[in-house]
Structure formats: C-alpha cells, structure tokens
Amino acid sequence: MSDDQDKDSKTESPSEKKISDAADKGNVPFSREATTFASTVAIYIFFVFFLTDGASTVAAALKDIFEQPEAWRLNNATDVVALMTHLAWKSTALLVPVFVLLIVFGVGSSIFQNLPRPVLDRIQPKMNRISPMAGLKRIFGVQGLVEFGKSLFKIIIVSILVLLVLWNDYFATLDLMFSDPVTIFSAMTSDLNQVMIVIMLATAVLAIADLFWSRHHWYTELMMTKQEVKEEMKQSQGDPIVKSRLRSMQRDRARKRMISSVPRATLVIANPTHYAVALRYVREESDAPVVVALGQDLVALKIREIAEKNGIPVFEDPPLARSMFAQVSVDSVIPPVFYKAVAELIHRVHAQSQPKRMT
C-alpha cells in the first residue's frame, strides 16, 4: 500500500540532476527487443548475402565425402583429425560472418539507445537481487507483466505467422528428404529467408513498441514527489532559512565594519533623522571625498551619534543627503555631480578648524 501511495505522490517531472544521477548509476532506458530486432536483421543479412554461398560450400564438401569415401581414409587418428579439420574450416567459413554481424548489430543497437559508460554500481552485490520478495515483485509487477506479454506475443503471433508462411511449402519440404544435399540446402535457404522476413517484421513492431514503453517506464520511475523536489532544491541551492541567516550575518558584519570607520570621517551629511552619509577627504589619500559609511533610520542615527562623540561636523542638508544616499556606495569616491556641494562643506570644515589651530 505504501508503494502505491508513493507512486501516486510522484507528480513532478524528474529534474536534470536526478536524470544525470540515474545515468551515472547505469539506470538508463534500454529495450531488449531493440537488440533482438538488431540481431534478427543481422541474421537476415547473413541469409541473403552469405548463407547461400557458404551452405553450397559445406554441401559440396559433404557430397564429396559421401560420394568419394575412398578419398578420405580413416585408418588412424591422423586421418580422422584431417577430416575433422577439413569440415571445421568449411563450417568456420560459413559461421564467421554471422558471428561478426551479430556482434556489430548488437553493439550498434546498444549504442543507438545509450552511449556506453563504465558503471561500477551495476556489478556491486546488492541484497535485493537475491531477496525472494523483491524477486516476486519483479515477476508479478508491471514490468514482469510487460515482459510476459512480449514473450507471449513472440511465441503466439510469430509462430502463427511462420506456420502460415510454411504451410504452402509443406509437401515440397517433405519431398526434399529424397533430394541431393545441394538441393536441400537451396530449398531450406529459400524457406528460411521467408521465415526471417516474417520474424523481422514482427520483431520490428515489438521493438518499436518496447522502445516507447521502456522510456515511458524509466521516466515514470524517475518522477519525483513535491517533497523530493524541495529537498533537491535545498541541496543544490542551499536551505533558504540558512541562506537568509547567512545574508543577515554578512550584513551585520558589513554594518559593524562600516560603523567602525565613522571616526575616520571628515564630515557627515544628514537628513535630520532618515539619512546619513559620512565622507572622508584627505588630499594625500584621494583626489575626491570617499564614502566611509552611509545608512538610514537607526543606522543613520548611529552614524550621527558616533560622529558627534568624535567631534566630526554634521551638516543637515536633506536634499543632498537623500541624493547622495541613492547614488553613492561605501568605500567609493563620490560622483562628480556632488563635487561642488561637498567642496563647500569641506571648506566650511576647514574654516571652522582654523581658529582652533591658531589658538
């Protein structure tokens, strides 16, 4: 029941990360019927292009042995080995093409479905592979029923089609028993060619259906619940609560560092309670005033408080304070548009400090 509920709750499409992780573990869509179809095509190509000549060669070799037995003496083990070697070479010449074709088409069908990659996880021992309950679930589950249906299709449908094809040649096949080997092989090749065409067409239909089913089943198994999507978002982007707390801590540290720079300021420009911008201007350090601190509301009041404690002049100019707060940033020089207004304030600061120096 819990498995059914879990499947029902998987309403979200799998993420790119989950698909990538599944591929890394070897969990990719794969159709066995596509490989079977590729093998059938390979065998058909063998029948069309290689079987006739190969079978004729083997038949001629057998005919030569049976019609001229005196040419093949079997007086000792050496003679037997020579005869068997002769037949083996003739048979090898017939079978090598089919083995090569099966390998090429089998590997090609696998590469067509998924690019090969080494996956050690697939060969690691797992308890669920030997678990009787897991085995029963695989047998009687949806995938097991699909595999049973495919096997039933191949047994029943293909068998019926093959019988229909061979029914017309039934009596001709019986007459072949009294023919010479060359004729037998030629007739059998023709019949096998018809059978292979029927099998190839049937397996092609089954392979196309299985390709779509295997990809649909694989995609369905990878679907995620809403909770899984949230957990993956937390893992990839970080927990929003933790990120918010980190940002808050970073702002606090930046604010404390900025407040600690206020005693170094030359002057503070303020809106009485809402904005405050602390500037430092030392001709040897920079060509223009540098913003050492800025803030609004409580931070602005804190900047004013520290400035007053350290004897730093505070000028109340609401329009200028608002404009500078919107356009400047900490640790950067002020824009040229503020040069004139700030220069007048700096001049006033120097003018106020002159009498003190003279006394």
Q: Do the Cβ atoms of 327 and 335 come closer than 8 Å?
A: yes
Contacts 24+ apart (CB under 8 A), 348-356: 348/313, 348/315, 349/266, 349/267, 349/313, 352/313
Residues 6+ apart with CB under 8 A from 191: 166, 169, 173
- The tens digit of pLDDT for each residue in 264-321 reads 888 888 887 788 888 888 888 888 888 888 888 888 888 888 888 888 888 888 888 8
| pLDDT reported for residue 140 | 60
Q: What distance in Å separates the CA atoms of residue 271 and residue 269, rounded to the nearest whole number? A: 7
C-alpha closest to that of 109 among 38, 28, 45, 44: 38
| pLDDT reported for residue 137 | 64
Residues forming a β-bridge with 296: 275
For residue 178, count other CB atoms closer than 10 A to its CB.
8
- The tens digit of pLDDT for each residue in 71-91 reads 777 777 777 787 788 788 888
Per-residue pLDDT of the chain (359 residues; tens, 9 = 90+): 445 545 667 888 888 888 888 887 878 888 888 888 999 899 888 888 887 777 777 777 777 777 777 777 777 777 778 778 878 888 888 889 889 999 999 899 888 888 777 766 666 666 665 666 665 666 566 666 777 777 787 788 778 877 776 676 666 666 666 666 556 656 666 777 777 788 888 889 888 988 998 888 888 889 888 888 888 777 766 666 767 777 777 777 877 888 888 888 888 888 877 888 888 888 888 888 888 888 888 888 888 888 888 888 888 888 888 888 888 888 888 888 888 888 888 888 887 766 544 43
- Provide the residue type at 316 as one letter: E
Residues forming a β-bridge with 314: 268
C-alpha closest to that of 103 among 31, 199, 39, 32: 39
Which residue reads 């350090």 in tokens?
285
3-state SS, residue 223: coil
Taken in order of first residue, the domains within the chain and their CATH numbers are 16-232 (no CATH), 258-353 (3.40.1690.10)
pTM of the model: 0.54
- Provide the residue type at 62 as one letter: L
Residues 6+ apart with CB under 8 A from 188: 55, 176
The angle, 0 to 180 degrees and rounded to 10, between the axes of the packed helices 77-113 and 52-67 is 170
Q: Do the Cβ atoms of 342 and 278 come closer than 8 Å?
A: no
